[in-house]
Amino acid sequence: MTSDHMVDAASHPAQPGIAETAEERVSYLRAGHTLGSWLFTSDHKRIAILYFISVTFFFFVGGAAATLMRADLLTPQADLLSDEGYNRAFTLHGVIMVWFFLIPSIPNTFGNFLVPLMIGARDLAFPRLNLLSWYIYMLGGLFTIYVLIAGGVDTGWTFYTPLSSMFANGNVVLAATAVFIVGFSSILTGLNFIVTIHKLRAPGMTWGRLPLFIWSLYATSLILVLATPILSVTLALIAAERLFGIGVFNPSLGGDPLLYQHLFWFYSHPAVYIMVLPALGVVSELVAAAARKPVFGYQFVAGSSIAIAAIGFLVWGHHMFVAGQSAYASAIFSFLSLAVAVPSGIKVYNWTATLYKGQISLDPPFLFAMSFIGLFVVGGLTGVILAMLAVDVHVHDTYFVVAHFHYIMVGGTVSAYFGALHYWWPKIIGRRYSLAWGRLSAALIFLGFNLTFFPQFLLGYLGMPRRYHVYPPEFQVLHVLSTAGASILGVAYLLPFTYLFYSMRYGKPAGANPWEATGLEWSIPSPPPKHNFAERPTVTRAPYDYTIEYEESDD
Amino acid sequence: MTERVQVHEPFVDPAQQHAADMLGMYIFLASEIMLFGGLFAVLFVCRLLHPQEIAAASKELHLWIGGINTAILLTSSLAVAIAVQLARQGSRRAVAISLAAAAALGAGFLILKAVEYRLEYSDGLLPGFSTASKFANPATHLFMNIYLIATVLHAVHLSIGILLLAGLVWKLLRRSLQVPKRASVIAVSGLYWHLVDVIWIFLYPALYLIR
Amino acid sequence: MNGFLSLWPDRASAYAAQLDTLLAGFTVVIVLLSAPVFILIVVFAIKYRRGRPANRKHPVTRNVWLEISWSIVPFVLMLCFYVWATKLFFDLHHPPADALEIDVVAKQWMWKFQHPGGQREINELHVPIDQPVRLTMASQDVIHSLYIPALRMKQDVVPGRYTDMWFKAGKPGTYLLTCAEFCGTQHARMGGHLIAMSQADYARWLEASTTDLTLAAQGAELFRSRGCSGCHGPSATVHAPNLAGIYGKPVPLEDGQVVTANDQYIRDSILLPQQQIAAGYPHIMPSFQNVLGEDDVLKLIAYIKSLSDTGEGSPNREGASK
Amino acid sequence: MHVVRPLIFVWAALMSLLALTIAASFALTGPLSLVTSMGVATVKAVLVYWFFMHLREEGGLIRLAAIAGIAWLMIFFFLALADYATRSSS
């Protein structure tokens, strides 16, 4: 394709958009504009865009299920959804949000886009494997959509046995297949990242100079590779149990239902860190750029990512304190769960210290980062409450838990996702968006989120079990507050997609480094050229090498 | 038919590419270990819950067929290891022969395994398939189910390995794979074969030798 | 309860008050730990706002001792609460010996309760106050979880085994009782009430809902009608263990292990008789898996318990001695 | 042949270990049997990894990747065992 040809095809001349820039003309976005050039690309940047589109789609599908649930919860009776309908709504909400949005969200979009750019590589180590991983993801996605159309599944995203293996009447096997398939996409992505980070760093890009986002993705990839296969085999056993009655999880055939929970949480607890570690990495990047200062205690922040990934494997039993697990095992798991709070705490305190004597900007990405820190602190500390044995006995499986993990995953990961989107959007697309609208949506998301989920802590302590759509009337006020918050949140999540989309044509060209940030990705044009770097970069400086103004001082 | 050492897009030199391929394969193998590890965990927990019944069921398995199969796989691994060494020296025909031998041994394993399933079927050991089951006890059924799942999953992996080796032999014979330039491809594929062997090394005692 | 808006759940026991104290104490600690973050972020964002003149001299970019101290100090603080919470948790797992024993059977989607006197109720549990109550719980189908928020307690009810839970209600009243583990279509409707009554009221309630037979006597009835007595009875010709006095005693097994004849062992012997066979007996006992429900098995256990004269278990069960 | 000979020694060792583990299965029962058979299997796996799978000639990173899977699996086994071994039967 010649670039002249692309100008004609890519934009309609009648629109008064800002004309295509020289950078755009040679960028990866214009390197081929047929559908095939996108669907068969092995360019990590284009695969990132493919993921971005598909992940966003599933975010809104999962969000639609949540909307139905929150609407149904307005009243203590079941007036919008039937029992079955509600059960299917929360199961699909969980399955889609966990495996089709949260797990791939930051790694597969921003990770794919940024890993090679940040370490100075041409692409990921195995570009075709990367594309294959997207196709596997889409195949799993198609299965999920089919499950949705075929009537859904009603086991909860946790697929607990023997409910899922013997009693549930939804499409359990199909749903398990969908998750099984998407697991391989995770494994391949993790593998690709690990090899890339080890083997394709530019000369001079030592481990001590890696951006913290890369450190966190590295930790995430370790979990992806080592935990996901356990989920795969567990889901295969569920399917075999349901289809052939093999009995592994069926007590009347000599099996043990708790064994399922051990296997499931051995994957699914580390999976929580798959969801939140990339977000922690994003926030480290954003905080440094916001303060124009090196991240306080780089080594501790980098090391804590690895520590979280490692300790995260040792704590799964805290999901089973009341499940009939031995009390001694529970005591061990409770202790280890407290230990995992230490590296998380290090990150939060270090970010706060980074802001000290910084040049703090309140542009949209940084607002998202700061709201992340606040929400993550609340989510993390309520997690410590849940790790306390006797307290968990009361609040386990209540709205307290629901609120806790939404603070981590929605308040945390989704805020970081939007933060990353607002931070790297000018790099990805090459255009600036409206900062005022960005600030507004950051504020709305923060407000809507807290209004939605803070009342749920109270509901949980009051004794409102999760997965209930019929509840005692004294809980209604808090539920109404929560639904009101959810409606704000819903609008606030849609908002960025409007002005970001608008900026694609009408935004001002961003320039190579609109935030004046450090990092290799900002050293190349926006949007990046197809080949990333004109020549292989050599790194000679520490990360976050912002010039600190020693002289500007009068008071 | 001169071929350059192929360096794929993101790599700058063949050494880097070889290192990345090796690392990638080892990481993939780690995930395979975790996949089978889940099954081993299930097996050990069931054994812990029902030690007597599972030992009794294990005694019914054909220990000697399993033993011969173990020997076959170990020998096939030797053939693959030799093939890698020969590939580094560049003897194309010898590499093809030893890889073909390994693949043939793998096929032999599968045939013997099929014979074994057939015997177990007629013994009434295979639950769900046999008409008259030999076992009254659910725990022994459970063990046979796990046995079936683990060995079938292993056989699937082995079949993939056989296809992989056969593909390499084909390419070697057609000279579309050159040694020693691309010996790395054979080394990396060999890793997968050895892992399938290692998994069997653990499956054999874990299934057949429970006493 | 039943107010327009409640912000703190009912407390039906002294344990609930203890737990609330623990939580309140811990909340104070986490507020102390997190307040600096919230306050400092806001203060820094204002004070060091970009473009605003401020003293930005000598910013630090690392301080290992500071970092170590803010890792260790919160952890040590939390450890104190860990010890406290774990102690409470272990108390929950050690029921007093004199507890009133009530059997619970969960099934999709109801709770069935069996009192030692043979009284049975569904979705309502009447208990006396100031007396420890121990629930032995079984599930007929999937995993359920008995949750009584006013007691701050829940325990999953797992098919294939018994789990238990004990409490001592301190305040008469009607409290919510729900299922907390998702168990299928009508999960949200699987609830009822815990009715804590004064001991005199409880005695009156037992009187009013009295049945002909105690739980153990109902078990004895089953023991005959299901043919157990044919083998295990005194006049049996078949070589089967005599069950009198066996409860709570060690049983040597075929494989040389010795197990205690507790509720779980007796249950498994009835439903999965081919496992854990007592030494010296032939493998002839059929499984009652598809014949007896969990509630029936609990009755049989009550009966077998009543045959034991060692005083093991609660005195309430003893009243049913044959 | 000099590169092949050590491989054949390794193969012979593997075969003897196979014979050993089969023999042990006739002599030992219970936990002792489990420990022995898994111990022998581990030795065999180490031989395969070290000689056949080139760990002998690879650097620390590859060796780390090779043991990662097993190490993580051990975490699962030990912590799950913490539950199963201490579960009270009632």
Return the amino acid letter for A487: S
Given a cut of 60, whether residue A215 has pLDDT beyond it is yes
Say how many CB pairs under 8 Å bridge A and C. 285
8 Å CB contact between B65 and B208: no
Confidence bin at B126 (pLDDT 50/70/90): confident
- Residues 31-50 on B with a CB inside 8 Å of D are 31-34, 37, 40-41, 44-45, 47-49
Distances (CA, A) of A539 to A217, A285, A543, B11: 20, 18, 10, 18
ipTM over 0.85: yes
Confidence bin at A555 (pLDDT 50/70/90): very low
8 Å CB contact between C189 and C109: yes
Facing A385 at nearest CB: one of C26, C60, C160:
C26
pLDDT of residue B129: 58
C7 assigned to some structural domain: no
Contact with chain B for residue C290, Cβ under 8 A: no
CB contact under 8 A, A167 and C184: yes
Maximum Cα–Cα distance across chain C: 100
**Which residues of chain B have a CB within 8 Å of the CB of D38?**
202, 205-206
CA distance A475 to C178: 14
Residues C263 and C223 in one domain: yes
Facing B139 at nearest CB: one of C254, C255, C275:
C275
Task: Please identify which residue in the block is written with the tokens 């067929």.
Answer: B65
Structural domains in chain D (count): 2
Facing B35 at nearest CB: one of A229, A252, A254:
A229
pLDDT of residue A1: 36
CA angle (B73, B74, B80) in 5-degree steps: 85
- Residue of A193, A266, A267, A330 best to disrupt the D interface, most CBs of D under 10 A: A266
Given a cut of 90, whether residue C231 has pLDDT beyond it is no
Mean pLDDT, chain C, whole residue set: 85
Task: Please identify which residue in the block is written with the tokens 């599968």.
Answer: B110
pLDDT of residue C183: 93
pLDDT in tens, A270-299: 999 999 999 999 999 999 999 999 999 999
CA atoms within 13 A on the CB side of C233: 14
Given a cut of 90, whether residue B70 has pLDDT beyond it is yes
Rounded to 10 deg, the angle between the A257-291 and B14-49 helix axes is 140
Q: What percent of chain C has pLDDT over 90?
A: 46
Residues forming beta bridges with residue C164, ordered by sequence position: C136
pLDDT of residue A244: 87
CB contact under 8 A, B50 and C275: yes
Residues D9 and D48 in one domain: yes
Q: Which two tokens stand for residue C262?
A: 């507790």
CA distance C274 to B173: 59
Please tell me which chains touch C, using 3 or more CB pairs under 8 Å as the contact test. A, B, D
Residues D45 and D66 in one domain: no
Last residue of a domain, one of C186, C208, C230: C208
Confidence bin at A26 (pLDDT 50/70/90): confident
CB contact under 8 A, C48 and A465: no
pLDDT of residue C309: 55
pLDDT in tens, C7-31: 788 899 999 999 999 999 999 999 9
Average pLDDT estimate for D18-28: 93
pLDDT of residue B3: 43
Contact residues for B16 (Cβ-Cβ < 8 A; gap 6+): A199, A200
CB contact under 8 A, C67 and A300: yes
User: Beta-strand (E) ranges in chain C?
Assistant: 100-107, 110-114, 120-122, 124-128, 133-139, 144-148, 153-157, 163-167, 173-179, 191-197, 250-252, 258-260
Contact residues for B53 (Cβ-Cβ < 8 A; gap 6+): A254, B137, B139, B140, B143, C274, C275
User: Could you tell me whether strands C144-148 and C153-157 are parallel, antiparallel, or unpaired per DSSP bridges?
Assistant: antiparallel
CB contact under 8 A, A360 and C108: no
CA distance C233 to C238: 9
Facing A262 at nearest CB: one of D72, D80, D85:
D80
Given a cut of 50, whether residue A403 has pLDDT beyond it is yes
C284 assigned to some structural domain: yes
pLDDT in tens, B150-184: 999 999 999 999 999 999 999 999 988 888 888 88
CA distance A71 to A69: 5
**Which residues of chain A have a CB within 8 Å of the CB of D80?**
262, 266
Task: Please identify which residue in the block is written with the tokens 């969980």.
Answer: A94
CB contact under 8 A, D90 and C259: no
Q: Which two tokens stand for residue C264?
A: 């779980």
Residues D1 and D42 in one domain: yes
Facing A348 at nearest CB: one of C37, C59, C189:
C37
pLDDT of residue A500: 95
Distances (CA, A) of C102 to A300, C131, C138, C314: 54, 12, 11, 10
Closest CA to D29 of A130, A119, A353, B54: B54
Given a cut of 90, whether residue A15 has pLDDT beyond it is no
Distances (CA, A) of A15 to A9, A18, A505: 13, 9, 9
Contact with chain D for residue C164, Cβ under 8 A: yes
Residue C264 or A224, more confident: A224
Say how many CB pairs under 8 Å bridge A and B. 116
C192 assigned to some structural domain: yes
Given a cut of 80, whether residue C136 has pLDDT beyond it is yes
Domains within chain B, CATH numbers bracketed: 18-208 (1.20.120.80)
Output the domain CATH number for residue C145: 2.60.40.420
Confidence bin at A502 (pLDDT 50/70/90): very high
**Which residues of chain C have a CB within 8 Å of the CB of A294?**
61
Task: Please identify which residue in the block is written with the tokens 């998994």.
Answer: B199
Residue C296 or A111, more confident: A111
Residues C56 and C142 in one domain: no
**Which residues of chain C have a CB within 8 Å of the CB of A300?**
62, 64, 67
pLDDT of residue A89: 94
User: Could you tell me whether strands C144-148 and C110-114 are parallel, antiparallel, or unpaired per DSSP bridges?
Assistant: unpaired
Helix extents (H) in A463-530: 476-506
pLDDT of residue B6: 64
Closest CA to C147 of A325, A160, A466: A466
Given a cut of 50, whether residue C230 has pLDDT beyond it is yes
Q: Which two tokens stand for residue C236?
A: 């049996």
Shortest Cα–Cα distance, B98 to chain A (Å): 29
Residues C159 and C219 in one domain: no
Average pLDDT estimate for C132-137: 94
Average pLDDT estimate for B56-69: 92
pLDDT of residue A455: 95
Average pLDDT estimate for B84-103: 92
Confidence bin at A6 (pLDDT 50/70/90): very low
**Which residues of chain C have a CB within 8 Å of the CB of D89?**
259-260, 262, 264-265
Given a cut of 60, whether residue C161 has pLDDT beyond it is yes
Model confidence pTM above 0.90: yes
Domain boundaries, chain A: 32-523
CA angle (D63, D69, D70) in 5-degree steps: 90
**Residue A489 CA to chain centroid, in angstroms?**
17
Given a cut of 70, whether residue B128 has pLDDT beyond it is no
User: Could you tell me whether strands C191-197 and C124-128 are parallel, antiparallel, or unpaired per DSSP bridges?
Assistant: parallel
**Residue C233 CA to chain centroid, in angstroms?**
33
CA distance D90 to D87: 9
Contact with chain D for residue C101, Cβ under 8 A: no
Q: What is the CA radius of gyration of chain C?
A: 27
Residues forming beta bridges with residue A345, ordered by sequence position: none
Q: What percent of chain A has pLDDT over 70?
A: 95
Phi/psi for C153 (5° steps) reads -135, 145
Q: Which two tokens stand for residue A469?
A: 């759509």
CB contact under 8 A, B35 and A198: no
Average pLDDT estimate for B98-106: 96
pLDDT of residue C52: 85
pLDDT of residue D1: 59
Query: By residue range, what is the domain housing residue C283?
Result: 215-318
Given a cut of 90, whether residue A422 has pLDDT beyond it is yes
Contact residues for D35 (Cβ-Cβ < 8 A; gap 6+): none
Interface of B with C (CB under 8 A): 50-53, 136-139
Enter the DSSP assignment of C110.
E
Given a cut of 80, whether residue D21 has pLDDT beyond it is yes
CB contact under 8 A, D3 and B202: no
CA atoms within 13 A on the CB side of A421: 28
CA distance A387 to A399: 16
Given a cut of 70, whether residue C84 has pLDDT beyond it is yes
Return the amino acid letter for C308: S
Distances (CA, A) of A446 to A415, B41, C144: 8, 43, 36
CA atoms within 13 A on the CB side of B179: 25
Please tell me which chains touch D, using 3 or more CB pairs under 8 Å as the contact test. A, B, C
Last residue of a domain, one of C92, C108, C139: C92
pLDDT of residue A268: 94
Enter the DSSP assignment of C227.
T
Given a cut of 50, whether residue A130 has pLDDT beyond it is yes
Residues C36 and C74 in one domain: yes
Given a cut of 50, whether residue D90 has pLDDT beyond it is no
Residues D3 and D39 in one domain: yes
Average pLDDT estimate for B35-62: 91
Residues D53 and D63 in one domain: no
**Which residues of chain C have a CB within 8 Å of the CB of B52?**
254-255, 275
Given a cut of 50, whether residue C179 has pLDDT beyond it is yes
Q: Which two tokens stand for residue B66?
A: 């399993």
The number of beta carbons lying within 10 Å of the beta carbon of residue A505 is 15
pLDDT of residue A480: 95
Return the amino acid letter for A393: V
Q: Which two tokens stand for residue B127?
A: 């639950």
Mean pLDDT, chain B, whole residue set: 89
Contact residues for B30 (Cβ-Cβ < 8 A; gap 6+): A225, A226, D65, D66, D68, D69, D72
Residues C166 and C104 in one domain: yes
Given a cut of 60, whether residue C314 has pLDDT beyond it is no
pLDDT of residue C4: 60
CB contact under 8 A, C255 and B52: yes
Given a cut of 50, whether residue C311 has pLDDT beyond it is no
Shortest Cα–Cα distance, C139 to chain A (Å): 11
Burial class (CB in 10 A: 0-12, 13-18, 19+), A480: middle
What is residue B120's three-state secondary structure? helix
Residues D30 and D41 in one domain: yes
pLDDT of residue C216: 85
Check the CA dihedral A388-A393-A399-A405 and report its sign.
positive
C72 assigned to some structural domain: yes
Residues D26 and D70 in one domain: no
Structural domains in chain C (count): 3
CA distance D89 to C163: 9
Residues D48 and D24 in one domain: yes
User: Beta-strand (E) ranges in B29-135?
Assistant: none
C2 assigned to some structural domain: no
8 Å CB contact between A238 and A155: no
Residues D72 and D32 in one domain: no
Query: By residue range, what is the domain housing residue D80?
Result: 59-90
8 Å CB contact between C91 and C84: no
Residues C235 and C273 in one domain: yes
CA atoms within 13 A on the CB side of A212: 29
C297 assigned to some structural domain: yes
Output the domain CATH number for residue C219: 1.10.760.10
Residues D63 and D19 in one domain: no
C52 assigned to some structural domain: yes
Facing B29 at nearest CB: one of D7, D69, D84:
D69
Average pLDDT estimate for C162-177: 93
C269 assigned to some structural domain: yes
Q: Determine the residue of chain C that is closest to B52 in CA distance.
A: C255
Return the amino acid letter for A443: A
pLDDT in tens, A30-84: 888 899 999 999 999 999 999 999 999 999 999 999 999 999 999 998 889 999 9
Residues D49 and D17 in one domain: yes
Residues in chain B: 211
Contact with chain C for residue D90, Cβ under 8 A: yes
8 Å CB contact between C100 and C316: yes
pLDDT of residue B123: 81
Q: Which CATH superfamily is domain A32-523 in?
A: Cytochrome c oxidase-like, subunit I domain (1.20.210.10)
